Amino acid sequence: MRMCALTPSSCLPLHLTQVFHGFEVTKFVGLNEEPAGSIHRPEFAFLSDVRKVNILRHIFCSIYPAIDPTPLFAGRAFQGKAVLVTSASRGIGAEIARHFARAGASVALLARNQVQLDDVKAGIEAECPGVHVLVLVADVKDPAKSASAVQATVQAFGRLDVLVANAGAMRPNGTRSGSVDPVEWRDTVEVNLRGPFNFIHSSVSHLQKSNGYVVAISFAGAQVRIPTASDYSLSKHAINGLVEFVPIGLYIYLFPLRSLNYDTYRVS
């Protein structure tokens, strides 16, 4: 079983790199799409739209042959594989699920909003005829529902090959730690840290059988002290540590945030 915390600068095994980096480029700087929403924050108002796009192109790079997912789509490289994506009702999660489906994988979409999940499912089925799509409604903070969702995925597809722990939360207001509502602060940490743990915990035995992957979505801000986002930065920093704690006896593939290479470690 392989585990990693993924940011745009992370390095994944080639076939996953192609799916994820292809997604990052087409989603954030693709044709007919606006730049990522975060670049439209007020503090970036002095930048022109062209400059914003150029910044994002610099951050996310361009699609080049080594990370181009097109061959995976054409060859249906994930045919027979099963992928579970949390927070798949919109945004990054929905796009990740769509890209895996285009590569032939059966995908389980999990989130709290049934209507949005059904819309994503309909879109995938229209774009990828024949692909199996499962919709699961659950809160990632609930251990019992997380376990049930993993079990439902395995029952539906017969296996689990990739878990994408994508669910995340960030407070919309810019409140410093000394003034933030403690309940809101705790909720962010629980979604960002407890959520991935719940699904990793429930998926381990199935991923051992398939020699599968866990991908936990991290954030470069995990290494930065953001005055108004201590809960978000702290929880994302913790995710980077969580992926290093895997069951004894398994191989670990670590993907450092500041490196384009990965090292293989053995836990004993």
Q: Which residues are catalytic?
A: 232, 236
Q: How far apart are CA 5 and CA 28, in angstroms?
A: 19
Helix (H, G, I), strand (E, B) or coil at 193: helix
CA atoms within a 13 Å half-sphere pointing along the CA-CB vector of 1: 25
- DSSP for residue 263: E
User: What region, left, alpha or beta, does residue 21 occupy, with left being phi > 0 and alpha being psi -120 to 50 degrees?
Assistant: alpha
Beta bridge partners of 107: 83, 133
Burial class (CB in 10 A: 0-12, 13-18, 19+), 42: exposed
How far are the Cα atoms of 42, 75, 101, 135 from residue 71, in angstroms, in the given order? 39, 6, 14, 27
How far are the Cα atoms of 92, 110, 119, 236 from residue 115, in angstroms, in the given order? 17, 12, 6, 28
